[in-house]
Chains A and B, each alone.
Chain A
Amino acid sequence: MTTTSTPPQTIETTASHDGLLERIKSMQSVWILGVLVVIVAVFGALSPTTFLTAGNITNIAQNVSIWAVLAVGMTFVIITSGIDLSVGSVLVVSSVVAAKSMDAMGGQGWSTALIGLVLAVIVGLGWGILNGFLVAKAKVPPLIVTLGTLSVALGIAQIITGGLDIRAAPDVLQDNIGYGRLAGIPAITIIALIVVVVGGIVLHRTRFGRYTYAIGSNEVSARRVGINVDRKLIQIYALSGLLAGFAGILSLAQYGTTTIAGQSLTNLNVIAAVVIGGTSIFGGQGSMFGSMVGLFIPAVLQSGFVIIGVSPYWQTVAVGTILIAAVYVDQQRRAAATRGKGVSTA
Chain B
Amino acid sequence: MSTLFEARNLSRRFGRVQALDHADFDVNAGEVVALIGDNGAGKSTLVKALTGNLEIDEGEILFEGSPIHFTTPHDASEVGIEVVHQDLALAPHLDSAENMFLGRELMRPGLLGKLGFMDNSAMRQKAAVAFSELGSAVRSVVVPVGAMSGGQKQSVAIARSVAWANKVLFLDEPTAALGVVQTKNVLETIKKVRDRGLAVVLISHSMPHVLEVADRVQVLRLGRRVATYRAADTSVEELVGAMTGALDKKEGAA
Chain A interface (Cβ < 8 Å from any Cβ of B):
1, 3-8, 10-15, 202, 205-208, 210, 213-214, 216-218, 220-222, 224-227, 284-285, 337-338, 340-344
Q: Which listed residue (A12, A210, A217) contacts B140, Cβ 8 A? A: A12
Residues of B within 8 A of A206 (CB): 115-118
B109 within 8 A of A: no
Report whether B94 and A207 are in contact in the complex, using a CB–CB cutoff of 8 Å. no
Complex Cα spacing A1 to B132, Å: 13
Tell me the minimal C-beta distance from B160 to chain A in angstroms: 9
Q: Find the A residue at minimum CB distance from B85.
A: A224
Closest 9 CB pairs of A and B: A225-B103, A7-B128, A284-B93, A206-B116, A12-B140, A217-B91, A221-B89, A217-B93, A11-B128
Residues of A within 8 A of B98 (CB): 210, 214
Report whether B139 and A12 are in contact in the complex, using a CB–CB cutoff of 8 Å. yes
With a 10 A CB-CB cut-off, give which of A6, A7, A206, A338 has the most chain B CB atoms. A7
- 17 A-B pairs (CB sep. < 8 Å): A5-B129, A6-B125, A7-B129, A11-B139, A12-B143, A13-B128, A14-B121, A202-B116, A206-B118, A207-B105, A208-B116, A213-B93, A213-B94, A214-B91, A214-B94, A221-B90, A226-B103
Residues of A within 8 A of B77 (CB): 226
Report whether A218 and B92 are in contact in the complex, using a CB–CB cutoff of 8 Å. yes
B80 within 8 A of A: no
B147 within 8 A of A: yes
Complex Cα spacing A227 to B77, Å: 13
B window 92-125: CB within 8 A of A: 92-94, 97-99, 102-105, 107, 115-118, 121, 124-125
Chain B interface (Cβ < 8 Å from any Cβ of A):
73-74, 77, 85, 87, 89-94, 97-99, 102-105, 107, 115-118, 121, 124-133, 138-144, 146-147, 149, 163-164
Residues of A within 8 A of B97 (CB): 13
Tell me the minimal C-beta distance from B176 to chain A in angstroms: 18
Report whether B91 and A221 are in contact in the complex, using a CB–CB cutoff of 8 Å. yes
Complex Cα spacing A117 to B125, Å: 45
Residues of A within 8 A of B105 (CB): 207, 210
Q: A205-B118, A206-B115, A207-B116 are in contact. Are A224 and B128 (CB under 8 A)?
A: no
Residues of B within 8 A of A14 (CB): 121, 124, 142
Report whether A7 and B91 are in contact in the complex, using a CB–CB cutoff of 8 Å. no
Q: Find the A residue at minimum CB distance from B145.
A: A217
Complex Cα spacing A342 to B146, Å: 9
Report whether B125 and A13 are in contact in the complex, using a CB–CB cutoff of 8 Å. yes
With a 10 A CB-CB cut-off, give which of B131, B144, B163 has the most chain A CB atoms. B144
Residues of A within 8 A of B85 (CB): 224
Residues of A within 8 A of B104 (CB): 225-226
Report whether B147 and A284 are in contact in the complex, using a CB–CB cutoff of 8 Å. no
Tell me the minimal C-beta distance from A212 to chain B in angstroms: 11
Report whether B89 and A220 are in contact in the complex, using a CB–CB cutoff of 8 Å. yes
Q: Which listed residue (B74, B116, B144, B147) contacts A226, Cβ 8 A? A: B74
Q: Which listed residue (B87, B107, B147) contacts A337, Cβ 8 A? A: B147
Q: A214-B91, A214-B94 are in contact. Are A205 and B139 (CB under 8 A)?
A: no
Residues of B within 8 A of A285 (CB): 93
Q: Find the B residue at minimum CB distance from A201.
A: B117
Residues of B within 8 A of A224 (CB): 73, 85, 89
Report whether B94 and A217 are in contact in the complex, using a CB–CB cutoff of 8 Å. yes
Residues of B within 8 A of A222 (CB): 91, 102-103
Q: Find the A residue at minimum CB distance from B136.
A: A11
Report whether B132 and A11 are in contact in the complex, using a CB–CB cutoff of 8 Å. yes
Q: Find the A residue at minimum CB distance from B148.
A: A340
Complex Cα spacing A14 to B117, Å: 18
Residues of A within 8 A of B129 (CB): 3-7
Complex Cα spacing A7 to B124, Å: 10
Q: Which listed residue (B87, B102, B143, B164) contacts A214, Cβ 8 A? A: B102
Q: A217-B94, A220-B89, A221-B91 are in contact. Are A343 and B142 (CB under 8 A)?
A: no
Report whether B141 and A13 are in contact in the complex, using a CB–CB cutoff of 8 Å. yes
Complex Cα spacing A217 to B102, Å: 12
Residues of B within 8 A of A340 (CB): 147, 149
Complex Cα spacing A207 to B195, Å: 34
Complex Cα spacing A344 to B140, Å: 13
Report whether A225 and B102 are in contact in the complex, using a CB–CB cutoff of 8 Å. yes
Complex Cα spacing A218 to B115, Å: 25
Complex Cα spacing A6 to B129, Å: 7
Complex Cα spacing A217 to B147, Å: 13
Report whether A12 and B92 are in contact in the complex, using a CB–CB cutoff of 8 Å. no
Q: Find the B residue at minimum CB distance from A209.
A: B116
Tell me the minimal C-beta distance from A124 to chain B in angstroms: 22
Report whether A218 and B91 are in contact in the complex, using a CB–CB cutoff of 8 Å. yes
Report whether A227 and B93 are in contact in the complex, using a CB–CB cutoff of 8 Å. no
Complex Cα spacing A224 to B87, Å: 12
Q: Which listed residue (A10, A15, A217, A338) contacts B142, Cβ 8 A? A: A15
Q: Find the B residue at minimum CB distance from A214.
A: B91
Residues of A within 8 A of B103 (CB): 222, 225-227
Residues of B within 8 A of A213 (CB): 91, 93-94
With a 10 A CB-CB cut-off, give which of A3, A11, A214, A341 has the most chain B CB atoms. A11
